[in-house]
Amino acid sequence: MNYDVNEIRSHFPALQSGAIFFDGPGGTQVSQQVIDAVANYYKTMNANTHGAFATAQKSDAMIAEAHAAFADFLNARSPDEIVFGPNMTTLTFNISRALGRWLNPGDEIIVTHLDHDADISPWLALEERGAIIRWVDIHQDDCTLDLADYERQLSTKTKIVAVGGASNAVGSMNDLKTIISLAHMAGAVVFVDAVHLAPHSPIDVQDLDCDLLACSVYKYYGPHLGVLYGKYDLLDRLQAYKVRPAENTPPHKFETGTQNHEGIAGALAAVNYLASVGEKYGAPYAAQFKQFSGRRLHLKTALAAIKEYEKKLFVRLMTSLREIPGICIYGITDLARFDYRTPTVAFTLDGKTPREVAEHLGQQNIYVWDGNYYALALMDRLGLEGQGGAVRVGLAHYNTVEEVDRLLRLLTEYATRST
């Protein structure tokens, strides 16, 4: 595999600090291309939209190109199926409220114990309209979704299914095509939380046939910005909560108010950065995506190349992580099943709280998360919420073998140290 991680790292100024960033599931570092794009927005086009002057027109053109770029990233049919917002959580609350107009008392919504709370609380809020929430359980031994339980929960009363593409806590990837197909057979709308999936695997919303899908650009090398995909017909039929002067067509009716233009400029740069990765390293994967061309092809091959690199790195991490004394790993640990997970792992160490482990590593300039990472339902289900959650290590496409080995060495030393 012709993947030069040192060349990749050269695009990220923060990596020159000497710190080791394993905090990617909470937010990745950004490329110089993104930094430059944000600065350039302020320098050359800082204005509100639809003005009769140059900077407003430049903003309009940039925003239109950003919609097109994310249509390419997700393989949407049209740029008008892409909605920008402050973050995935806010977008999900907005869309859940709009969908809630269609609900009647007794209608059912399915959520799962595996999900981030941003794909749970917005749907729980619809209990105020009389909706009934159905919970899908997990297999605790490997933290995967119980699809048999999912099928049991589906009925003619199911109106919405909310499911994650991958767990931000333990990395488990869901069988989205099966989940979506079964939901549609029941007549339900499917909302996919792809925040943790998007940095690690190509997404094709047309192939998945999901109705709605949301992700966060800051999880894949861009600024803090949320992105929502929706089938145009669905977005068009939904009644948005908006100000009266705002346009009544998608995506504009869901982008009410002045958007984060500088963030959108940075998000466009993040997509173009990923496309450049595909141009350099994606050729071996092009045959898998022969139906695509141009930026769409480069984006798909970039994520395929990244997925392959991260998998090899993660195998190295997991192989040795399992041997550390007193460790308990949550999620899939079988190397033969790594195609069904992202390179993110959660664990606990005997005799040490997750915060103590994270603080110890932080003192060594290794950045990892501890707690529940807003995967509250999962931590409750695993019995970890009252114990400080777990330690989370997430690999990104800019991490190295040397960084993984340093983490493993320090964890082993810390685990075996007498208390």
Q: Give the domain ranges of the chain.
A: 5-30+300-416, 34-271
Torsions phi, psi for 401 (to 5 deg) = -60, -40
**pLDDT bracket for residue 325 (50, 70, 90):** very high
Other Cβ atoms less than 10 A from the Cβ of 235: the count is: 24
Torsions phi, psi for 391 (to 5 deg) = -90, 135
The neighbouring-strand residues paired with 329 are 347
pLDDT at 417 (0 to 100):
83
What is the per-residue pLDDT across 27-36, written as a single tens digit (0 to 9) for each? 999 999 999 9
Other Cβ atoms less than 10 A from the Cβ of 377: the count is: 23
pLDDT at 30 (0 to 100):
98
Neighbouring C-alpha atoms within 13 Å toward the C-beta of 269: 24
Two domains, one topology: 5-30+300-416 and 34-271 = no
pLDDT value at 398 more than 70: yes
pLDDT value at 419 more than 50: no
What is the per-residue pLDDT across 36-47, written as a single tens digit (0 to 9) for each? 999 999 999 999
pLDDT value at 418 more than 80: no
The neighbouring-strand residues paired with 229 are 82, 213
Q: How many residues does the chain have?
A: 419
User: Please, what is the average pLDDT of the chain?
Assistant: 97
pLDDT at 1 (0 to 100):
56
User: CATH classification of 5-30+300-416, choosing from 3.10.129.10, 3.40.50.300, 3.40.50.2300, 3.90.1150.10?
Assistant: 3.90.1150.10
For residues 70 and 54, what is the distance between their CA atoms, to the nearest angstrom? Answer: 25
**Statement: the pTM of the whole predicted model exceeds 0.95:** yes
Percentage of residues of the chain with pLDDT beyond 70: 99
pLDDT at 319 (0 to 100):
96
For residues 111 and 225, what is the distance between their CA atoms, to the nearest angstrom? Answer: 24
**pLDDT bracket for residue 183 (50, 70, 90):** very high
Handedness of CA 380, 383, 386, 391 (dihedral sign): negative
pLDDT value at 171 more than 80: yes
Q: Ramachandran region of residue 371, left (φ > 0), alpha (ψ -120 to 50) or beta?
A: left
What is the per-residue pLDDT across 330-383, written as a single tens digit (0 to 9) for each? 999 998 899 999 999 999 999 999 999 999 999 999 999 999 999 999 999 999
Are residues 137 and 378 in contact, defined by beta-carbon separation less than 8 angstroms?
A: no
Are residues 171 and 120 in contact, defined by beta-carbon separation less than 8 angstroms?
A: no
Range name among 71-75, 260-264, 414-418 with the lowest pLDDT average = 414-418
Q: Burial level of 97, CB count in 10 A (0-12/13-18/19+)?
A: middle
Fold for 34-271, please state it. Aspartate Aminotransferase; domain 2 (3.40.640)
